[in-house]
Amino acid sequence: MTMLLNSYERDTNLIAAHHQPAIMLDLATSRDIDSRALLRGTRLVLDDILTGRKLISPDRFLTLLANCQKALNADDTSFLFGQRLFPGSYGAVSQVLTHSQTLHQALIHICHHHSLLSPLCTPRYFENNDHLFIYWLDSCGAGAQFTFLLEAYMTAVASMGNRMLDSKLPWRFNFTHAEPRYIEQYWVHLSDEVKFNQQLSMMSIPLDITHQVRLKTSPISLQLALQGSKSQLTDIGWEASFLDTLYDYFRENIQQNIQLETVANAFGMSPASLKRKLLKHNTHFQKQLDLARKHVALYLYQVKGYQHHEVADYLRFNDINNFRRAFKRWTGLPPGQLLQENCF
Amino acid sequence: MMQKKIHSSMVIFSGLILCALIGLYVHLLVGELKPWDMIDWLDIVAEGGTAILAVFWLALLLRSRPAGRVTFWLALGVSCFVFSWWMDCIDEVIEIPSGAFWHNWPENMPVPLGLLLLTIGIYHWHQEERAISAQMIKRERVFREHRLFDALIPIGGADYLREQVKLALKEARMAAQPLALVVIDINDFSHINHSFGDLEGDQVLQSITQLLLLNLRSQDLLCRLAGDRFVAVLPNTNNHQAKIIADELETAIASLAYKTTRQGNRIQLSASTAVEVGLQEEANSMIKKLNMNLSLIKKHLITSPI
């Protein structure tokens, strides 16, 4: 029962309309587009946003983004939106990013505060010996709009990093989707180091860069901002989405025999309700479970350097051939071939 | 400008309405209403519909075109048609005694007059179009496709560039002359956006576009690839010539004394350029190689700041 208390869903009102939705509106209206057309279907009026107190659901934010994308009809909308996102002026949580002493700190704070900073697209980080990786998961079942979100939020993180350290940092980007027609937007706004049809949508940067200490930051301001952002999180009351929570549960219990019934039990709901909730987020049980297992397998191979049989053992496959088949189903490639391509 | 446009459209429209009313008044004065069962409704719908369509043309014409001589002639011509069809329509309802020697004039006279005015208008339009095309020559080659034009900067975007490189490569192969591409990337452009605001950034891009166009030859084409990155298509140009042009463009940008619109602050601009020459290549791979050349040059720029 306790598991679900902190998770928001597609229709939970948690996004401050005057923060990121307003940035998108500003961008579109600066191109002479009427705001009423942009707000169509969102049940919002401009005055709601101006109160500075209105909260909207992921569903409505996605509608707003779709309206703007359609009205602007340009390939760079997501990237221009992304450039304006971080650190933003979202109160204490933006101060946390501004006062972070290293990029490393800022990136971890972004992941920790993602329900405030990136409510539609969840960033998660891990490190190996020389790189820091941030990969992104669909928080609320954005479907076809997920590409737009990835473009926007990866641009947001990358351009914030570049500004913090005042240089164009050697970011590298992987995307699960195929190379889009407007590839030049990726070159110009992200980097030339961009690959498509990859296993994870992920960005990486050398660790030593993330540990460069920035001058002119104040540790006291950071402490104060952190206290403020903590109460911001308690105020909205959500730290992770339903899909985030489910993913975390899968990863924690990956070595158990995970069944729909046991998960529903752990979440304090009936199997039918769990199925319904998954459907509401445009996904289903097996898809989410396979995603978690794929990520664990890739992590074990690439970061921990496990061999085939060790990964199969870890994931409780009795038969290595069964594991190979499952792995191919998750990733589209047999394990050996995938490792040669070095997907990280 | 906007004032003048509204003003002249108002003159044309009110003139037209006045003429239409005078026509109606004269008809009512002289003629008499037809009995109900004599009216041919199909004729009224057909002639009235044509008149309404012509009013629609007139509205589009006046809305889309800047006020001036050409617009005036065209609008006057279309107005004559509207008037003629309107009178045609009235004619169906009001009977003019056939003894009146002028009874056919209101519906027949405006047609040749309208055709004459429209012809004068189209002739001047043709002249105007040629003058505009001469100015557009470095922004579009061979064909016009306004849907591929960039929303912010009035030159072609990446899709237009790809189409044009394909065409230019075909031409280059036929003439056995190399085709060169030059990419121009503004250094630290995000810094400008960040310090002076996005609107100022847009202004800078627009100014740079004009500047680059001025520095190209008449056979060259300039497109905006994305963001602050432009590509010039240089037909019939070898590597050496392309490098010279690239250097010229770099110098032009470096010596542009751009001032911000609000405070008049000088923004120091600089650009990096790269060149790719091809003949047997495919358009997409050529553009990709061009960008790789640029990123090599930019990396060099980061490691050795001069």
Q: Using one digit for the tens of pLDDT, what is the confidence trace for A238-297? A: 899 999 999 999 999 999 989 999 999 999 999 999 999 999 999 999 999 999 999 999
pLDDT band at B130 (very low <50, low <70, confident <90, very high): confident
* Residue B293 in contact with partner chain A when CB distance is under 8 A: no
The nearest CA of chain B is from the CA of A185 a distance in Å of: 6
Averaged pLDDT for residues B147-170: 85
Selecting from B185, B199, B227 the residue whose C-beta is nearest the C-beta of A30 gives B199
What pLDDT does B94 receive?
84
Q: Do B137 and B190 belong to one domain?
A: no
User: Domain check: are B135 and B242 in the same one?
Assistant: no
Together in a domain, B124 and B221: no
B68 touches chain A (CB under 8 A): no
- Asked if pLDDT for residue A95 goes beyond 90, the answer is yes
Contact by Cβ (8 Å): B188, B204: no
- In the sheet where A121-127 sits, what is the strand order? A121-127, A131-138, A202-206, A172-174, A194-195
Query: pLDDT digit string (tens) for B63-96?
Result: 888 778 888 889 999 999 898 888 888 888 888 7
Chain A contact present for B292, CB below 8 A? yes
What's the mean pLDDT when you consider all of chain B? 86
Of A72, A167, A189, the CB nearest to B227: A189
Is B304 inside a domain boundary?
Answer: no
Q: How far apart are CA A342 and CA A227, in angstroms?
A: 41
The pLDDT-based confidence of B99 (bands split at 50, 70, 90) is low
- The alpha carbon of residue B159 is apart from the nearest alpha carbon of chain A, in Å, by 8
Q: What is the pTM of this model?
A: 0.81
Compute the average pLDDT of residues A102-118. Answer: 96
Average pLDDT for B13-19 = 89
Preceding omega of A87 cis (within 30 degrees of 0) = yes
Write out chain B residues lying below 8 Å of A24, CB-based.
Answer: none
Alpha-carbon gap: B242 to the closest alpha carbon of chain A (Å): 22
Burial of A156: CB neighbours in 10 Å, binned 0-12, 13-18, 19+: buried
Using a CB-CB cut-off of 8 Å, the residues of chain A touching B203 are none
pLDDT at A343: 59
> Helices B69-93 and B110-136 sit at what angle, rounded to 10 degrees?
150
B67-76 burial, b at 16+ Cβ within 10 Å, e below that, comes to beebbbbbbb
Q: Is the residue at B63 inside a domain?
A: yes
Q: Which residue of B has its CA nearest to A72?
A: B151
**d(Cα B178, Cα B170) in Å, to the nearest integer?**
11
Q: What is the pLDDT of residues A120-154, one digit of tens each?
A: 999 999 998 899 999 999 999 999 999 999 999 99
Chain B residues with CB-CB distance to A79 below 8 A: 227
Q: Give the pLDDT band of residue B299 (cuts 50, 70, 90).
A: confident
Are B131 and B6 found together in one domain?
A: yes
User: To the nearest whole angstrom, how far is the Cα of A24 from the nearest Cα of chain B?
Assistant: 13
Residue A306 has pLDDT above 50, yes or no: yes
Residues of chain B contacting A30 with CB distance shorter than 8 Å: 198-199
Q: Tell me if chain A has a CB within 8 Å of the CB of B151.
A: yes
Residues of B within 8 A of A165 (CB-CB) are none
Among the candidates B86, B109, B143, a domain finishes at B143
For residue B270, what is the DSSP state?
-
| Residue B50 lies in domain | 2-143
Task: Kindly state whether B153 is in contact with chain A, defined as any CB-CB distance less than 8 angstroms.
Answer: no
pLDDT for A2 equals: 45
Question: Nearest residue on chain A to B192, judged by CA atoms?
Answer: A163
Residue A216's pLDDT is 80
In a domain, B22, yes or no: yes
Residue B59 falls inside a structural domain: yes
**Same domain, residue pair B49 and B165:** no
Contact with chain A for residue B291, Cβ under 8 A: yes
- To the nearest 10 degrees (0 to 180), the angle between helices A320-331 and A285-302 is 110
Predicted pLDDT at B96: 78
Q: Please indicate if any CB of chain B lies within 8 Å of the CB of A74.
A: yes
Q: What pLDDT was estimated at residue B141?
A: 65
ipTM of the prediction? 0.87
Domain's final residue, options B113, B143, B173? B143
pLDDT of residue B148: 67
Does residue B277 sit in the same domain as residue B240? yes
Assigned domain for B149 exists: no
The verdict on B135 and B208 lying in the same domain is no
B185-203 average pLDDT score = 89
Same-domain check for residues B139 and B166 = no
Chain B interface includes A47 (CB < 8 A): no
pLDDT at B210 over 80: yes
CA gap A42, A56 in Å, rounded = 9
Q: Which two tokens stand for residue A121?
A: 């697209």
User: Does residue B153 fall inside a structural domain?
Assistant: no
| Section B122-134 average pLDDT | 85
Q: Which B residues, 176 through 235, put their C-beta within 8 Å of a C-beta on chain A?
A: 185, 190, 193-194, 198-199, 225-229
Average pLDDT over residues A201-218: 93
CB contact under 8 A, A184 and B226: yes
CA distance B86 to B165: 51
The predicted pLDDT at position B2 comes to 46
Distance from CA of B76 to the nearest CA of A (A): 32
pLDDT for the residue B151: 65
Check CB contact under 8 Å for B151 and A163. Answer: no
* B148 falls within a domain: no
Assess whether B74 and B27 both reside in one domain: yes
pLDDT over 50 (residue B1): no
The CA distance from B209 to B138, in Å, is: 11
Q: Domain check: are B122 and B201 in the same one?
A: no
The answer as to whether B228 is a domain residue is: yes
How many domains does one find in chain B?
Answer: 2
Using CA atoms in the order B269, B272, B275, B276, what is the torsion angle rounded to 10 degrees?
-120
| Rounded CA separation B26/B102 (Å) | 12
Contacts of A182 in chain B (CB under 8 A): 158, 226
Distance CA B35, CA B27 (A): 16
Set of chain B residues whose Cβ sits within 8 Å of the Cβ of A168: 298, 302
User: For residue A71, is pLDDT > 80?
Assistant: yes
Q: Do B282 and B162 share a structural domain?
A: yes
Where does residue A252 rank: exposed (0-12), middle (13-18), buried (19+ CB within 10 A)?
Answer: exposed
User: B306 is written with which tokens?
Assistant: 């001069």
- In angstroms, the separation between the Cα of residue A97 and the nearest Cα of chain B is 16
- Residue B152, chain A, CB below 8 Å: the answer is yes
pLDDT at A260: 94
Contact B291 A187 (CB under 8 A): yes
Q: What percent of chain A has pLDDT over 90?
A: 83
Residue of B nearest to A27 (CA): B198
Share of chain B above pLDDT 90, in %: 42
Do A188 and B298 make contact, defined as CB atoms within 8 angstroms? no
pLDDT of residue B129: 85
The yes-or-no verdict on residue A1 having pLDDT over 50 is no
DSSP A227-239: HHHHHHHHHH--S
Place of tokens 């903590």: A230
Cβ within 8 Å, pair B229-A184: yes
Q: Do A75 and B298 touch (CB under 8 A)?
A: no
φ, ψ (nearest 5 deg) of residue B222: -115, 135
Question: Is A172 in CB contact (< 8 Å) with chain B?
Answer: no
Chains A & B: contacts with CB separation below 8 Å: 51
**Do B215 and B164 fall within a single domain?**
yes
Task: Tell me the pLDDT band of B184, cut-offs 50, 70 and 90.
Answer: very high
Lowest mean pLDDT among A188-192, B50-54, B274-278, B299-303: B299-303
pLDDT tens for each residue of B38-47? 788 888 888 8
From chain A, the residues in CB contact with B291 under 8 A are 184, 187, 192
B181 with B233: CB under 8 angstroms?
yes
**Residue B301 reports pLDDT greater than 80:** no
Nearest CA in chain A to B147: A73
What whole-number percentage of chain B has pLDDT above 70? 91
From B98, B113, B143, give the residue that closes a domain: B143
Q: Is the pLDDT of residue A18 over 90?
A: yes
* pLDDT of B305: 43
B302 interaction partners in chain A (CB closer than 8 Å): 167-168
